[in-house]
Structure 1
Amino acid sequence: MNNSHSPTVVVVPGLRDHVADHWQTLLAERLDKVRTVPPLEHDKFSRTARVAVLDSVLREIDGPVVLVAHSAGVLITVHWAQNPSRPIQGALLATPADVELPLPDGYPTTDDIDRGEWNPIPRRKLPFPSIVAASRTDPLGNYRRIAGMAETWGSRLVDLGDVGHLNPAAGYGNWPRADELLREVIESTAPISPAQI
């Protein structure tokens, strides 16, 4: 993943933004060509504002891009993809937050979600290949509902088993499977060079 033709990986965090011991942060530290979508100063719960920040980051990058999104970051990605400003090589979409249903205590309220205009969650085929990595024990997303979203997005579904919300509170920290799934997205979507024909 270090050659000049390798894609830039754009990390799309959830609503908690940059968390030092989160697997996305640790993954970004291991990559050479990487950008992380910066946090919002204002309008923290605004889906429109977050999609605009992602779009701004993507417009600054030349060459291929692969997205790595988690939780609400998946929703930001899927909303952005309804009207994309540039092509995307592929995406790893980990444990999407299902904000159409009330979230547990300590997470944004239904009123926060409604004010931020997060719903409905888009259910159209994404214009790029993707993997949805789903948890069987995610308090923010029922596995069967997430599997249904993956199907409508045209994503390959990966069953992660019992990983909670795949965040530091669930013990992830470092998540080596992220490297493996990212490599799979990159290798399965890489354009074929003339030398390979």
Structure 2
Amino acid sequence: MTTLIIPGYRGSDKGHWQRQWLLEDETARLVQQDDWENPVLTQWLHVLEAALAETPGAVLVAHSLGCVLVTHLASRPSAAHVAGALLVAPADAERMAVQDPKFRSFAPLPRQKLGFPSIVVASRDDPYMSFNKARALSEVWGSGFVDVKNAGHINVESGFGSWPEAHILAGSLRRPRIDLRTRRAA
């Protein structure tokens, strides 16, 4: 099963746990946006949907604004091709849009169930989203929730290079789901 790595604003720098993942896992693919500096939701969605069309059944591993992209994808038909999503340190696009108009297309944050298995990983001292808002959104999205305590934005600056726990969390999304009506793996 393919893993699609979905960075946020400015992509993931060298040494970032997402970049390390790409080096460690030959089945992982980077969802490469055309312009990391000027995010436009419709353009980023188009790129993500094209990647999903090539790799249906992928697990999405998103960081920061990439998490917001995945939550917007959830309301589109192509979401049916998502096996699951690991949403690490989601960004508060609503607050970011007030501070900088380049993020307006990503706001407001979706507030409905995602329709595929997901896990939100949040830090208590993330400068880009309050812990309480991340937890509340995870409940609205129907996501599992992992508290990594004081881990900043869960990026290179906060000490996250290779991060084996991310692989474990994403792996939990790969398990076959049981259809309770037929008692068979879906």
Matches within 5 A, 1:36-75: 36-41=30-35, 44-62=38-56, 64-75=57-68
Helix, strand or coil for the counterpart of 2:127?
coil
* Equivalence for 2:14: 20
Helix, strand or coil for the counterpart of 2:174?
helix
My pick for the range that moved more, 42-51 or 79-88, is: 42-51
* Equivalence for 1:177: 165
Q: Residues 152-190 of structure 1, C-alpha deviation per residue, up to 9 Å, x if partnerless?
A: 100011111111000111111222211221122223xx2
* Equivalence for 1:4: none
My pick for the range that moved more, 160-169 or 40-49, is: 40-49
Q: How many residues align?
A: 180
Helix, strand or coil for the counterpart of 1:126?
coil
More helix by share: 2
In 2: Cα distance, 1:134 partner to 1:42 partner: 23
Pairwise CA distance, 1:74: 0.3
CA RMSD, 1 decimal: 2.2
**Contact 1:43–1:49 (8 Å) recurs in 2:** no
Matches within 5 A, 1:1-197: 7-41=1-35, 44-62=38-56, 64-85=57-78, 86-102=80-96, 109-114=99-104, 117-187=105-175, 190-191=176-177
Pairwise CA distance, 1:87: 2.2
Q: Residues 65-102 of structure 1, C-alpha deviation per residue, up to 9 Å, x if partnerless?
A: 11100000000111111113242111111010012124
In 2: Cα distance, 1:28 partner to 1:152 partner: 30
Pairwise CA distance, 1:25: 1.0
Pairwise CA distance, 1:30: 1.5
TM (normalized to structure 1)? 0.84
In 2: Cα distance, 1:195 partner to 1:74 partner: 31
Report the residue type matching 1:93 in the other structure: L
Pairwise CA distance, 1:44: 2.4
**Contact 1:23–1:175 (8 Å) recurs in 2:** yes
**Contact 2:64–2:91 (8 Å) recurs in 1:** yes
Helix, strand or coil for the counterpart of 1:172?
coil
In 2: Cα distance, 1:147 partner to 1:49 partner: 28
Helix, strand or coil for the counterpart of 1:100?
helix
Runs of 4+ in structure 1 displaced over 2 angstroms? Answer: 41-44
Helix, strand or coil for the counterpart of 1:101?
helix
My pick for the range that moved more, 160-169 or 27-36, is: 27-36
5+ residue gaps, structure 2, are none
